[in-house]
Amino acid sequence: MEKKTVAFCTLGCKVNQYETNAMMQKMLEGGYSIVEFEQKADVYIINTCTVTNMADRKSRQMLNRVKQLNPNSVLVVTGCYAQVAKEKLQDIPEIDLIIGVNEKNDIVKYIEEAMKNKSSIVEVSNIANQKQFLDFGSVTYTEKTRAVIKVQDGCNQFCSYCIIPYARGRVRSRNPLSVIEEITKISKLGIKEVVITGIHVASYGKDFSKENLINGKRKYLLIDLLEDIQKIDGIERIRLGSLEPTIITKDFVTRLSKLSKICDQFHLSLQSGCNETLKRMNRKYTVEDFENSTKLLRKAFPNVHLTTDIIVGFPGETEEEFENTYQFLKKIKFYKMHIFKYSPRQGTVAANMKNQIDGNIKEKRSTLLINLSNENENYYLNQYLGKQVEVLFEEKEGEYFKGHTSNYMIAKLKTNKNMQNVIEKIKVKTVENLELIGE
């Protein structure tokens, strides 16, 4: 009997990518074979995002495409958009199965049920009631030379613009023994780099009670976990996902800098370079705190690259506030900035704030910051001309093999050799399209 086929589409963050890999593994174990999303499949699974209105729109667009590929397929929608907007999704007749964030572990069971009953199923539990980390077990399915490892879920921050605490619930941390076991298995597959991620990874361990601590009385936090991952043979790089700036303390950075495998690239989520705006956003730091964090990291990691997220056009952002942000960003000189135009999320405090900003103003501010980001990136890349960089090569692209340096620059080498999953030093001869070309 021919195997049933399943195709996946992942929108959003690295946590979603990890959970897609986990679901792929479950489907393979359930006897399915995986095909590309553009191919005809028996089952299509869309792992949605709801961070912005654009993410919502992308999620809906993907739904429309599926039934054109195979009108008889089973269409499954999961992820954050499914969690917060199941009522909207129930109005779309093409969807056969809507499952929440917590139900992903039983994906095969729900799909078999939907196929058997030929009726649409909605399984979305109340995420606010979830107290334990939902562990998928060891997820060894990975498509690249880098493996994403989810160690934490949920967020307690409740920033005024953000829907995520409602889509993901409160902070829940994964048992360190489970994390270590998974990474040890991954190292045995020859994978050299792991990305440690979560919805609010800086909160890792804050929900652990005394009883379930791994090493007795002492608190077990993110830095403790990283020190334990450092000991795993075979793993050569540990990369961190997005960090809350408040975790960057002198003690944290001192301990972090002693870990030889930590990648010298950190994504610190800033959102605004103006204290008044940060206050309205309900962020828990000032620009002065943030600048101090960057100084600590730059002192400890000589070649560090810092990246960030910025929201432009937040309600009440005046020209003066935006100018403050612009000048602060020039001063910090991030390697790269991800710029988002504020979009109101129903159910958040900011959606009801006065002084919502006109779309044209948001566009203008966004363009200014994107240009600044590109200038910065070019500046940093050109510092490496004629120098040697160490690259973990990932994939073939035309005549080139392509990969990343530890501080997350894209580097390419023209070669006939198979360089996949090889770490090698190359000499940078040119910079083209924001990529290092080596020899």
pLDDT along the chain (439 residues), means of 10: 88 90 93 92 90 71 77 89 87 88 91 84 88 89 86 94 92 95 95 96 88 62 96 97 94 97 97 98 96 98 97 97 98 97 92 95 98 96 96 93 96 93 95 93
Residue 332: the pLDDT is: 98
Residues 212-226 pLDDT 10s: 555 555 689 999 999
Helices (H) and strands (E) in the chain, counts: 13, 18
pLDDT at position 211 is: 54
What confidence tens digit (pLDDT) does each residue in 26-35 have? 999 999 999 9
Residue 246: φ, ψ to 5°: -65, -15
Residues 6+ apart with CB under 8 A from 156: 165, 170, 171, 200, 203
The closest of 197, 191, 188 to 226, measured between CA atoms, is 197
Contacts for 353-357 with beta carbons within 8 Å, 24 or more apart? 353/160, 353/280, 353/315, 353/316, 354/315, 354/316, 355/315, 355/316, 356/315, 357/313, 357/314, 357/315, 357/317
| Domains of the chain: residue spans and CATH | 5-125 (3.40.50.12160), 127-263 (3.30.750.210), 388-438 (2.40.50)
CB-based contact 227:255 (threshold 8 Å):
yes
305, two tokens: 């690259």
- In angstroms, the CA 33 to CA 3 distance is 6
Whole-number pLDDT of residue 351: 93
Sequence-ordered alpha helix ranges (H) in 131-198: 164-168, 176-188
Kindly report the pTM of this predicted structure. Answer: 0.91
pLDDT of residue 87: 87
